[in-house]
Amino acid sequence: MPEGPSVRKFHHLVSPFVGQQVVRTGGSSKKLHPDGLQALWLQDTQVHGKKLFLRFDPDEEMGSSDNNPMPERPCRGAQGEGATSQKQASGHGCGTSDGAFRSVELVVSQGGDGPACLRGDTSAGGAERWLQFRFGLFGSVWVNEFSRAKKANKRGDWKDPVPRLVLHFGGGGFLAFYNCQMSWSSSPVVTPTCDILSEKFHRGQALEALGRAQPVCYTLLDQRYFSGLGNIIKNEALYRAGIHPLALGSLLSPSRLEALVDHVVEFSADWLQGKFQGKQQHTQIYQKEQCPAGHQVTKEALGPPGGFQRLTWWCPHCQPQLAPKGPEQSQVS
């Protein structure tokens, strides 16, 4: 799924529509019922890790709730964003048919009908105002245009992707959401201390998690400590820190763990900055056959026993495996 920098870009694209009324809807979603969003007002939007949240209210005057602060700026890269892009913002910079992500949207509210609950109960505690988006592998948000097929499918047809949700606003523009799961809730689930692009990201908490006796590549993908971190950031940060993906965190010195967290934050912020500047993402190890030093790269699916296995690229020369003799000695200045 798109990683933190991509979802931050989605948030940037959606934000200009805050304060506008939904006048027409569309999309292929069967569980969400897009027509239930008609006449609602988009009052707020927040981002956390890989999730995007939109708040809808039946009345224009309701405004944003004091209990739900506006989105933060990322720690780097949000300043000087410039004009909102009218083009695609996708997780991997390429399109796909909607069949690439077949998960059905889940409506987690007990009633199952977010807008109906919202209209029936406008009290702050009871209404399900927030629509949560979780994007699939090629999930994307388009502004004032639709995604077009970039290549033929397996049948040889040039079939355009079908958006899951389309929102037309009173101001004349529209948003199209592709390859995403959607669910209603009474409030967004936001924990800035674990969001790698938040100014409130808690380094101490992240370092404590990394220091456990398990492979660091498992811990990096744990959204409880590194929300927004995905497979690309994992591979790139480990290579830049010179750490083998299966190295046990308990065997790494505090300085090595500090360096790993630094690379996670720096690569993520640079990636986001590049998105706002329209620059192509540059990776050193992810999906490469050779590392920048010219060494052969190893690729293998790694993950916790019984858990999800993710393709991992690393250089055995630049990222040697530690012998299980004991923790590294801390560097003495």
Q: Which residues are catalytic?
A: 2-3, 50, 310
Could you list the beta-strand ranges (E) of the chain.
Answer: 22-26, 41-48, 51-57, 89-90, 130-143, 165-169, 174-185, 298-302, 310-314
- For residue 25, CA distances in Å to 14, 38, 166, 173, 177 come to 15, 6, 5, 12, 11
Going by the DSSP 8-state scheme, the letter that residue 257 receives in this structure is H
- For residue 51, CA distances in Å to 6, 136, 188, 204, 242 come to 10, 11, 9, 23, 30
Task: Give the 3-state DSSP-derived string for 280-302, with helices as H, strands as E and coil as C.
Answer: CCCCCCCCCCECCCCCECEEEEE
Stated length of the chain: 333
Tell me if 311 sits within 8 A of 332, measured CB to CB. Answer: no
What are residue 168's DSSP bridge partners?
A: 24, 174
d(CA 289, CA 239): 14
